[in-house]
Amino acid sequence: MRRVSRLALASAATAAFAVTVSACGGTSSDAAKSDDGGKKKGVAIAYDVGGAGDQSFNDAATAGMDKSAADFKIGKKAVEPTDGESDADKIQRLTELAKQGYNPVIGVGYAYAPAIKEVAAKNPDVTFGIVDDATINAKNVADLVFNEEQSSYLAGVAAAKATKSKTVGFIGGVDNPLIRKFEAGFVQGVQATDKSVKIKRQFLTEKAEDGGFSSPDKGKEAAGGQIEGGADVVYHAAGLSGQGVIEAAAAKKVWAIGVDSDQYKQKALDKYKKYILTSATKDVAGAVYNLVKSVQDDKAEGGVVRADLKSGGVGLADSNPEFTKMKDLQAELKKAEQGIISGKIKVNTKL
């Protein structure tokens, strides 16, 4: 039973596309600016904290960009954030991309909301996308959002069935409403599966600028503390910091659960993959690809585009053979999946 997320809200042809997340850095367009509304100039993405090479959120966006550029024979460009940058810095970056002729221009992460709202209003002929934010109501802005709590619930079920110590952990990168969704779903999934399992929880920072999503050392230290406290399964929603969580789990020979991308498959994490039980995925790559396709097809629309478990936009990866061998766990997951999709199980977005 394959649980890796499929392309959300896509045509059958598009949904058949399976991406391998790339860890490449910034790229540039190989097409000249034209008068076709940016179609040939191509797609541009502005990375969130952590940038390219996070093996998670940003790299999933890169995969969607790379695949769409190849399929539609268009240019592409990706730009990195800077430490401690302001909304004004983001506004300047997005404005430059729009003026250079890119369409769509996509901000990867909720932190781009104020900037995209302002820049989109001044560039009505350009389609913008923002990942993980649904606050912008504009005809030329697609709000690409996910039901992360649903895949996190499944991660909780898996953790509760896999633990032998009856103690599991959750590490969030930054204490904000988005990461609280991951926490809420995970806690609910654990408790619904086995109320006797204890859950250790920690957020690395209060603000993103303090490194919660970009500091593997912080993730490693936090995971090490939870493991010393008895946790033998640790789930992270911490971006690049999650690499430290996975490293700590592997060092102690306990399970880690990855996030956003199928982290078992990431080359940078290859030496730790034996200890990556599964990953709670969300199809950022598919969301980016579909938005580019809509621009190419002259069918781009603003508004909320939501991906959930039913659409395949979120899910649980099953790349680790040891994970698929756990028959009791798999049976419990199947029951939970059916419950969520049918609506019998209502997953919390906050505790």
Q: What is the pLDDT of residues 118-165, one digit of tens each?
A: 999 999 999 999 999 999 999 999 999 999 999 999 999 999 999 999
Tell me the per-residue pLDDT of 290-328, one tens digit each, with 9 for 90 and over. 999 999 999 999 999 999 999 999 999 999 999 999 999
Predicted local confidence at residue 269, as pLDDT: 94
Specify the pTM: 0.86
HEC string of the chain? CCCCCCCCCCCHHHHCCCCCCCCCCCCCCCCCCCCCCCCCCCEEEECCCCCCCCCCHHHHHHHHHHHHHHHHCCCEEEECCCCCCCHHHHHHHHHHHHHCCCCCEEEECHHHHHHHHHHHHHCCCCCEEEECCCCCCCCCEEEEEECHHHHHHHHHHHHHHHCCCCEEEEEEEECCHHHHHHHHHHHHHHHHHCCCCEEEEEEEECCHHHCCCCCHHHHHHHHHHHHHCCCCEEEEECHHHHHHHHHHHHHCCCEEEEEECCHHHCHHHHHHHHHEEEEEEECHHHHHHHHHHHHHCCCCCCEEEEECCCCCCEEECCCCHHHHCCHHHHHHHHHHHHHHHHCCCCCCCCC
Predicted local confidence at residue 29, as pLDDT: 39
19: pLDDT confidence band, cut at 50, 70 and 90? very low
14: pLDDT confidence band, cut at 50, 70 and 90? very low
**Which of residues 287 and 57 earns the better pLDDT score?**
287
Predicted local confidence at residue 22, as pLDDT: 34
**What is the rounded average pLDDT of the residues 263-285?**
95
**Which of residues 6 and 45 earns the better pLDDT score?**
45
Predicted local confidence at residue 5, as pLDDT: 34
Tell me the per-residue pLDDT of 207-250, one tens digit each, with 9 for 90 and over. 988 999 989 999 999 999 999 999 999 999 999 999 999 999 99
Predicted local confidence at residue 37, as pLDDT: 59
Do residues 79 and 28 touch, judged by C-beta distance below 8 A? no
Predicted local confidence at residue 15, as pLDDT: 37
Query: Going from the N-terminus, what domains does the chain have, and what CATH number goes with each?
Result: 43-146 (3.40.50.2300), 148-281+320-342 (3.40.50.2300)
